[in-house]
Amino acid sequence: MNEHVAAQGTEPGANASRQGDHRSYLIGCGAALLLTLASFWAASTNLVYGPSVPILLGVLAIAQMGVHVVFFFHISSAPDQTNNFLSLAFGTFVVGLTVFGSMIIMANLNHMMPTTEKLLEMQR
């Protein structure tokens, strides 16, 4: 008996070994390349208002993450992608909690750290 057992959430008859076609990968690669070139252009040009460059780079980075999620990870809002989407959301939450929690802790430690003058006064 050579029976094919599909993973939970896959459609009957779907080819599990082929998640995306070459066209999808080429579109994703082109979009990622375009966003990368736009980031380098934004960082090196004088046509963009200087203080807004970090915000523009952040927007381009978020757009590139979206391209990777859709075209390379193949995560969508389809009903059979619920577990993948929730896993991605939870991973993003954990990374954000770790990064921003660490920043809060380091800011608090920096605030509580005595200055050099106070340390010299304590030694006297």
- Domain residue spans in the chain? 19-74, 79-124
Q: What is the pLDDT of residue 124?
A: 78
60: left (phi over 0), alpha (psi -120 to 50) or beta: alpha
Distance of CA 99 to the CA centre of its chain: 13
Q: Which amino acid is at 101?
A: G
> CB count, 10 Å around CB of 39?
18
- CB within 8 Å of 23: residues ≥ 6 apart: none
Q: What is the pLDDT of residue 102?
A: 98
Q: What is the pLDDT of residue 95?
A: 96
Please report, in tens digits, the pLDDT of each residue of the chain (124 residues total).
Answer: 555 555 555 555 555 555 568 999 999 999 999 999 999 999 999 999 999 999 999 999 999 999 999 999 888 888 888 898 899 999 999 999 999 999 999 999 998 988 888 888 888 7
Q: What is the pLDDT of residue 74?
A: 87
Contact (Cβ atoms closer than 8 angstroms) between residue 67 and residue 39: no
pTM of the model: 0.63
Q: Which amino acid is at 109?
A: L
Q: What is the pLDDT of residue 10?
A: 58
Q: How far apart are CA 30 and CA 103, in angstroms?
A: 35
Q: What is the pLDDT of residue 13?
A: 56
Q: Which amino acid is at 26?
A: L
Query: For residue 4, what are its two tokens?
Result: 């094919």
